[in-house]
Amino acid sequence: MQTKKVILDTDIGSDIDDALALAYLLKEPRCELLGVTTVTGEADKRAEMCSAICQNIGRGDIPIHVGCDQAMLVDLLQKQAQQAAALGNWPRKNFANNNTAIEFLRDTIRANPGEITLFAIGPMTNIGLLFATDPALPALLKEVVLMCGKFYEAGGEWNALNDPHATAVTYGNTTHAKPPRHISYGLDVTTKCVLSADECRARFKDIPVLAPVVDFAEVWFQRAPHVTFHDPLAAACIFHPEICNHETGEVKISLAQPTLGWTVFHKKDAGPHTVAKTVDAPCFFETYFNTLKNP
């Protein structure tokens, strides 16, 4: 069985879908998770949440690094990790609020040239800073996979909007090297994968990897009556790309108001970017929950 080396960059602790994506990566037999980095406000608490999920299934060996807790040039919209309030007595490591993520990302990618899938499911601050400060590095990746953007209708998406300038760098709207593959799963497909709170409670029950996530989810359900599986869809498609249909083209990021942070997609053959256009939602949910139930 051929595995893939993955680094996850996440803003776990705001929307519950990040925790569900991490759980999937931990149970996917083809995923060699090399590490996790956190981003946006209270990045240290977000790292604690990652640690709790990993330690719950005996994977405390996975490196976890605190990343940027501020956006590059704009005021950060996402200042708190609300679900960290549910950490309770879950065993976990404690983290200082020091940015060690960028160094970890750079060193790990350079030590594994052409092998790593960089999977980012939060605001793009860590990735933008990494690419901006080491312009040759993107070409050393195997691929970049993002939960980011909205490509077939006008409008913004949360991860892109939280740090539009970092998003522009991540999509290569600058002169740095390009990754061999650059794939995005945006709101066009992720919003088709939704379960109600009650259905989530029923389906999460008795799945060991989700034990701490169940507690985090109750914080989320105080704000929303459902879960949109944005990040888990992108995670599953790393290993099961057939879940979505894709198109190639070029993505540009608007850096002017009133569309600051919008992702604008132009279809073209042999473009530098691939975006998901449609999704088989029943296939996704079957794949996702079957994977979580792996021994």
Peptide bond into 258 cis (omega under 30): yes
Mean pLDDT lowest for which of 25-29, 93-97, 142-146, 186-190? 93-97
How far is the CA of 38 from the CAs of 95, 134, 201, in angstroms? 11, 19, 26
Report the share of the chain in percent with pLDDT over 70. 99
Ramachandran region, residue 261 (left: φ > 0; alpha: ψ -120 to 50; beta: rest): left
Which tens digits make up the pLDDT trace of 197-216?
A: 999 999 999 999 999 999 99
Residue 175: its pLDDT value, please? 66
CA 256, chain centre distance (Å)? 25
Residue 1 has pLDDT above 80, yes or no: no
pTM above 0.95, yes or no: yes
Mean pLDDT of 134-141: 95
Ordered domains of the chain (ranges, CATH): 4-292 (3.90.245.10)
Hey, what's the torsion of the CAs at 234, 235, 238, 243, to 10 degrees? -60
